[in-house]
Amino acid sequence: MTAPQSVARQLVRTALTGRTSMDQIDDAVLVADELVGNALQHGYGVVSMTLDIYEQGVTVSVLDRGTDISAIPTAPTVDQVGNVENEGGRGLFLVAQFATAWMVQAVEGGKAVVAVFDLTGGAQ
């Protein structure tokens, strides 16, 4: 567990508490953790994370110094699913499963990976 991921999880959880259900908060926390982890591992470090909250939605955006914007989520392999020691290779697949939508876009100095969540229902 790295410090940037811990900070990201806490910020998302704190910002969304009372705004939506715990299930939706957990989904956004998981995705923020994955995006920050991917930036640390593949994007030459996290430059910033932005959380934009709207009346019925939220976006989580992580900017890194990487330039590859061809990210494609792939389903985990049988080895990844069955091997609890192997935690790699599932990040964007999880993002695609839990976020309402997501995208990768080139930005000055790197790329941003953005996940969008519809916040349906009220706080529970």
Helix (H, G, I), strand (E, B) or coil at 14: helix
pLDDT for residue 45:
82
pLDDT band at 32 (very low <50, low <70, confident <90, very high): very high
DSSP string, 50-82: EEEEETTEEEEEEEES---------PPPHHHHH
Structure tokens at 13: 């959880």
**% the chain with pLDDT above 90:** 64
pLDDT at 81: 47
Tens of pLDDT, residue by residue over 61-91, are 999 999 988 876 655 554 544 444 445 557 8
**Domains within the chain, CATH numbers bracketed:** 3-118 (3.30.565.10)
Residue ranges of alpha helices (H) inside 1-124 are 3-16, 22-42, 78-82, 91-98
Helix axes 3-16, 22-42, angle to 10 degrees: 150
pLDDT at 120: 76
Q: Is 71 or 40 the better-scoring residue by pLDDT?
A: 40
The Cα angle at residue 10 between residues 97 and 25, in degrees rounded to 5: 40
